[in-house]
């Protein structure tokens, strides 16, 4: 990434200079979407002003709202997920909108934002943290960081929503490290005993990544940062060892297991972060989150929720959980970055997807490409098919693999050894691969949020990205849902899609439940069936031959 690009983008303005962009793994000619005959046009139209929080500064705030956009103008538009949830954002005296940063804040006595890390010096922030910011290339705060860091430094609870790849991790890590001051054993003052901060995330891969981000800020001090796993939980079975821990990063299940075994206390926790908050508050994780929140019993507990998406239902739960919270929204809620060029590609039916993908991969592409399927079996099957079709450096990562396989796969991806990574929803949230330029939704996303997070694996930290979504006749009833998101991001979609009927609430719920075959290539299934049949026939004839031999030898004995 060019640091300059990210700084400008995240602070309010950038012009992409291709000559400055990162060296591409292949120096092949880039494809343009328009040349793809099956792609449904969503080439970038003008970005509506209210979405253009990145480019504002570039034009000194004089940019006119898009005229070509087919967005309705005037008052705040409902976001696609508002429509999904029937949410209407209220305007209250407490709500403030910053036109410079395209940030909306809501809450009582909202602390002022900062425009530089330098301005944070009015707070008590240890100098080594500033040094670590600089040494890791963090020159200026992104919009979400500008707003969240002061809010968290003031000790306020927060619900923060900012698009994918805009630096939410640092937005909560910097204030946590600052408030903790120094590692527990050397800290003076009110440190108490026991873990002081907990960050909860949906996947182990994401926990690992956040642990790495913590290490960047921790340089030069002996912070005790724990990536919670079975092994680390065991190493903390002695209370004395646990009491030295500063920050734990964990998935909810792992944390709850340790709490139930009596191998962890959270009564000294001062900062609790739920990253990917809407996922953390869904029905699968909610019971564990409630247990964790209940265990964090310190009277001065600060709670912070972060996500790129927060549908109305999750937001209601979030707000109930927080005390006198500040809500910060960067850009439009549940909306992908305008940096990600989005398109929809019609592929008729499931068997047609593989040839379409092979055609796509036969042309020059920017590796690594991230491809999302709906199930683990389909991910494995697609990876097999690509390998059999001669595609190089194909990898696969899903929750059905062993931890070692997952780690190896991720490590190949990080080293640039994977050119095509097939995955499932497990990689949709939070994962930060700076080099991913293209995301393909091989299987239609299950929800608006799934779409926003999946495609948000590209277009990170100010880079451009491209997202292609295959749709079949079966997905057509849900097409308008995703088309609305594309529209909201400032792109245009063909009129015929806009004219499609709006799916009912019931229909939308079925969006993630489209049944797809386990195997992506039905021809292979036939081949497999034949192979199995042949194997069984051979085994059968061997058995029969053995029986005949046995019988005839028996007769021989009788004869003798």
Ligand X SMILES: Nc1ncnc2c1ncn2[C@@H]1O[C@H](COP(=O)(O)OP(=O)(O)OP(=O)(O)O)[C@@H](O)[C@H]1O
Sites of contact with ligand X (CB under 6 A)? 6, 137-138, 141-142, 145, 162, 164-170, 308, 430, 432, 434, 456, 460-461
- Read off the tokens for 219: 């340089």
Maximal C-alpha separation, the chain: 108
What torsion, rounded to 10 degrees, do the Cα atoms 26, 32, 38, 41 define? Answer: 140
Q: What is the nearest approach in angstroms of ligand X to the Cβ of residue 7?
A: 6
Shorter beta-carbon distance to ligand X: residue 331 or 456 = 456
Q: What is the nearest approach in angstroms of ligand X to the Cβ of residue 86?
A: 24
Please say whether the beta carbons of 190 and 184 come within 8 A.
Answer: no
Shorter beta-carbon distance to ligand X: residue 170 or 519 = 170
Please say whether the beta carbons of 41 and 343 come within 8 A.
Answer: yes
Q: What is the nearest approach in angstroms of ligand X to the Cβ of residue 251?
A: 15
Shorter beta-carbon distance to ligand X: residue 439 or 481 = 439
Q: What is the nearest approach in angstroms of ligand X to the Cβ of residue 429?
A: 6
Q: In the block, which residue shows the tokens 């900012």? A: 162
Shorter beta-carbon distance to ligand X: residue 45 or 163 = 163
Q: What is the nearest approach in angstroms of ligand X to the Cβ of residue 165?
A: 5
Torsion sign over Cα 337, 427, 308, 128 = negative
Shorter beta-carbon distance to ligand X: residue 79 or 142 = 142
Residue 226 β-bridge partners: 248
Please say whether the beta carbons of 63 and 49 come within 8 A.
Answer: yes
Spatial separation of the C-alpha atoms in residues 444 and 471, rounded to whole Å: 6
Give how far the C-alpha of residue 211 lies from the chain's centroid of Cα atoms, to the nearest Å.
Answer: 16
What torsion, rounded to 10 degrees, do the Cα atoms 427, 510, 82, 145 define? Answer: -10
Using alpha carbons, list the distances in angstroms from residue 363 to 26, 35, 84, 175, 262.
12, 12, 37, 46, 56
Spatial separation of the C-alpha atoms in residues 95 and 348, rounded to whole Å: 46
Q: What is the nearest approach in angstroms of ligand X to the Cβ of residue 138?
A: 4
Please say whether the beta carbons of 107 and 326 come within 8 A.
Answer: yes
Residue 160 β-bridge partners: 306, 328
Shorter beta-carbon distance to ligand X: residue 316 or 434 = 434
Shorter beta-carbon distance to ligand X: residue 163 or 194 = 163
3-state class (DSSP) for residue 443: coil
**Extended beta strands in 356-397, E state:** 369-372, 394-397
Give how far the C-alpha of residue 272 lies from the chain's centroid of Cα atoms, to the nearest Å.
Answer: 20
Q: What is the nearest approach in angstroms of ligand X to the Cβ of residue 342?
A: 16
Shorter beta-carbon distance to ligand X: residue 114 or 354 = 114
**CB-closest chain residue to ligand X:** 167
Shorter beta-carbon distance to ligand X: residue 347 or 448 = 448
Q: What is the nearest approach in angstroms of ligand X to the Cβ of residue 437?
A: 15
**H-assigned helices in 187-269:** 204-218, 230-235, 239-242, 252-260
Q: What is the nearest approach in angstroms of ligand X to the Cβ of residue 361?
A: 25
Shorter beta-carbon distance to ligand X: residue 461 or 468 = 461
Residues 6+ positions from 204 with CB-CB distance below 8 Å: 229, 251, 403, 406
Shorter beta-carbon distance to ligand X: residue 144 or 266 = 144
Q: What is the nearest approach in angstroms of ligand X to the Cβ of residue 314?
A: 15
Shorter beta-carbon distance to ligand X: residue 210 or 394 = 210
Buried b (16+ CB within 10 A) or exposed e, 4-29: ebbbbbbbbbbeeeeeeeeeeeeeee
Q: In the block, which residue shows the tokens 């046995």? A: 550
Spatial separation of the C-alpha atoms in residues 63 and 40, rounded to whole Å: 28
Q: What is the nearest approach in angstroms of ligand X to the Cβ of residue 140?
A: 6
Q: What is the nearest approach in angstroms of ligand X to the Cβ of residue 3?
A: 6
- Read off the tokens for 127: 């100098």
Q: What is the nearest approach in angstroms of ligand X to the Cβ of residue 369?
A: 17
Shorter beta-carbon distance to ligand X: residue 133 or 497 = 133
Q: What is the nearest approach in angstroms of ligand X to the Cβ of residue 217?
A: 11
> What are the CB-based long-range contacts (under 8 Å, 24+) for 382-387?
382/354, 382/357, 382/422, 382/442, 382/520, 383/422, 384/524, 385/354, 385/520, 385/521, 385/524, 386/357, 386/358, 386/361, 386/420, 386/422
Shorter beta-carbon distance to ligand X: residue 138 or 228 = 138
């Amino acid at each position: 990434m060019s640091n300059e690009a990210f700084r400008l983008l995240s602070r309010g303005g950038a012009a992409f200079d291709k000559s400055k962009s990162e060296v591409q793994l292949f120096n092949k000619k880039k494809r343009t979407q328009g040349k793809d005959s099956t792609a449904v046009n969503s080439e970038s139209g003008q970005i509506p002003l209210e979405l253009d929080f990145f480019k504002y500064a570039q034009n000194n705030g004089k940019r006119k709202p898009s005229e070509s956009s087919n967005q309705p103008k005037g008052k705040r538009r409902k976001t696609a997920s508002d429509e999904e949830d029937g949410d209407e954002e209220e305007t209250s005296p407490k709500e403030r909108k910053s036109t410079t940063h395209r940030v909306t804040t809501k809450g009582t006595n909202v602390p002022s934002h900062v425009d530089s890390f330098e301005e944070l010096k009015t707070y008590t922030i240890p100098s080594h943290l500033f040094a670590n910011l600089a040494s890791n290339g963090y020159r200026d705060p992104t919009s979400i960081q500008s707003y969240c860091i002061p809010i968290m430094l003031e000790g306020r609870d927060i619900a923060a929503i900012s698009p994918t790849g805009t630096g939410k991790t640092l937005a909560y890590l910097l204030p946590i490290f600052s408030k903790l001051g120094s590692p527990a054993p050397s800290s003076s003052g009110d440190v108490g005993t026991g873990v002081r901060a907990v960050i909860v995330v949906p996947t182990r891969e994401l926990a690992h990544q956040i642990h790495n981000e913590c290490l960047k800020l921790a340089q030069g001090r002996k912070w005790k940062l724990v990536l919670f796993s079975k092994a680390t939980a065991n190493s903390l079975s002695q209370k004395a060892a646990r009491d030295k821990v500063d920050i734990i990063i964990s998935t909810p299940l792992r944390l709850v297991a340790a709490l139930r075994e009596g191998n962890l206390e959270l009564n000294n926790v001062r900062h609790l972060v739920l990253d990917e908050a809407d996922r953390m508050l869904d029905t699968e994780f909610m019971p564990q989150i409630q247990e964790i929140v209940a265990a964090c019993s310190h009277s001065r507990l600060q709670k912070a929720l972060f996500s790129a998406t927060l549908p109305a239902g999750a937001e209601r739960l979030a707000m109930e959980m927080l005390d006198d919270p500040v809500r910060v929204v960067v850009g439009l809620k549940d909306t992908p970055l305008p940096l990600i060029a989005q398109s929809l590609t019609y592929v008729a039916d499931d068997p047609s997807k593989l040839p379409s993908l092979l055609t796509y991969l036969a042309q020059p592409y920017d590796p690594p490409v991230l491809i999302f399927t709906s199930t683990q079996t389909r991910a494995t099957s697609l990876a097999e098919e690509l390998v059999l079709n001669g595609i190089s450096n194909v990898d696969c990562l899903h929750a059905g693999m062993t931890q070692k396989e997952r780690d190896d796969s991720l490590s190949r991806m990080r080293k640039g050894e994977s050119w095509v990574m097939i995955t499932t929803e497990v990689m949709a949230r939070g994962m930060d691969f700076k080099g991913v330029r293209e995301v393909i939704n091989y299987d239609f996303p299950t929800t608006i949020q799934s779409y926003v997070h999946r495609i948000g694996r590209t277009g990170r930290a100010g880079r451009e990205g491209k997202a292609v979504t295959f749709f079949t006749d079966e997905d057509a009833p849900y097409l308008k849902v995703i088309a609305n998101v594309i529209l909201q991001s400032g792109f245009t979609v063909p009129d015929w899609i806009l004219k499609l009927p709006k799916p009912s609430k019931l229909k939308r719920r079925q969006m993630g439940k489209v049944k797809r075959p386990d195997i992506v290539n039905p021809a292979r299934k036939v081949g497999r069936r034949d192979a199995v049949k042949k194997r069984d026939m051979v085994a059968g004839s061997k058995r029969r031959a053995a029986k005949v031999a046995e019988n005839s030898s028996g007769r021989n004995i009788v004869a003798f």
